[in-house]
Chain A
Amino acid sequence: GNSVTQMEGPVTLSEEAFLTINCTYTATGYPSLFWYVQYPGEGLQLLLKATKADDKGSNKGFEATYRKETTSFHLEKGSVQVSDSAVYFCALIPSDYKLSFGAGTTVTVRA
């Protein structure tokens, strides 16, 4: 079946530190890959996406590259801010269109 495995948290960083959250997936066919972010007290928002191999999604300084050979979609940001504190979810949409989520990684950025 389809599944997403992402790095366990929580992750605590200082401002301006480099952030990486690992995400690997298992899926049949050619899924699209997503990162969603959930700020405290809010619903999930799409952060970025990639729809085919070698695509790079980017938004708000975050980037992730769709790596088919390693079945990965790691999220990175070069210099985090306090406002980046949130829960980050890796997700995929496979050929049956049912979105599958990872467990989420809680990131806390300290000033």
Chain B
Amino acid sequence: NAGVTQTPKFRILKIGQSMTLQCTQDMNHNYMYWYRQDPGMGLKLIYYSVGAGITDKGEVPNGYNVSRSTTEDFPLRLELAAPSQTSVYFCASSDQLGTTNEQFFGPGTRLTVL
């Protein structure tokens, strides 16, 4: 199993540009998550999904959109990039939504908006 994979690893955007961060998991997990990690801060939840076709907002959803058309894929879309979106983005998945369930993380995408 590859686990959770993310592309690209690095990206530089200009203000106002758009892009999609890709996330794929091969563990047949129903639950998937997007987080951002800012320097000196913990991870903050952007969006999450409990299954194909179902998504919901997390703590910091503004400026982002998501879709979940398949179990495997959970792309994150930035429509109008802003410097405040410079961060490291992590995708994660879990097989259940219970309080005891481990989330598996991808290697991250480092995004810089100039």
- Which A residues fall within an 8 A CB radius of B? 4, 30-32, 34, 36, 41-46, 49, 51, 89, 91, 93-95, 97-104
Contacts and interface: CB of A to CB of B under 8 A. Distances in A.
Contacts of A98: 45, 48, 58-59
Given A44-B105, A95-B99, A102 B42 contact: yes
B42 A101 contact: yes
13 contacts: A32-B100, A44-B43, A51-B99, A89-B43, A93-B99, A93-B101, A95-B99, A97-B97, A98-B48, A98-B58, A99-B43, A101-B42, A103-B42
Interface string B97-109: 1111111011110
- Secondary structure call for the B interface: loop
B43 A43 contact: no
A104 to B, nearest CB: 6
Contacts, number: 56
Given A89-B42, A97-B97, A101-B42, A46 B102 contact: yes
B98 A97 contact: yes
Given A43-B105, A43-B107, 7 more contacts: A34-B102, A44-B105, A45-B105, A46-B102, A99-B45, A100-B42, A103-B41
Contacts of A4: 42
A85 B58 CA distance: 31
Nearest to B107: A43
A45 B106 CA distance: 9
A9 to B, nearest CB: 10
B49 to A, nearest CB: 12
Nearest to B3: A43
A99 B41 contact: no
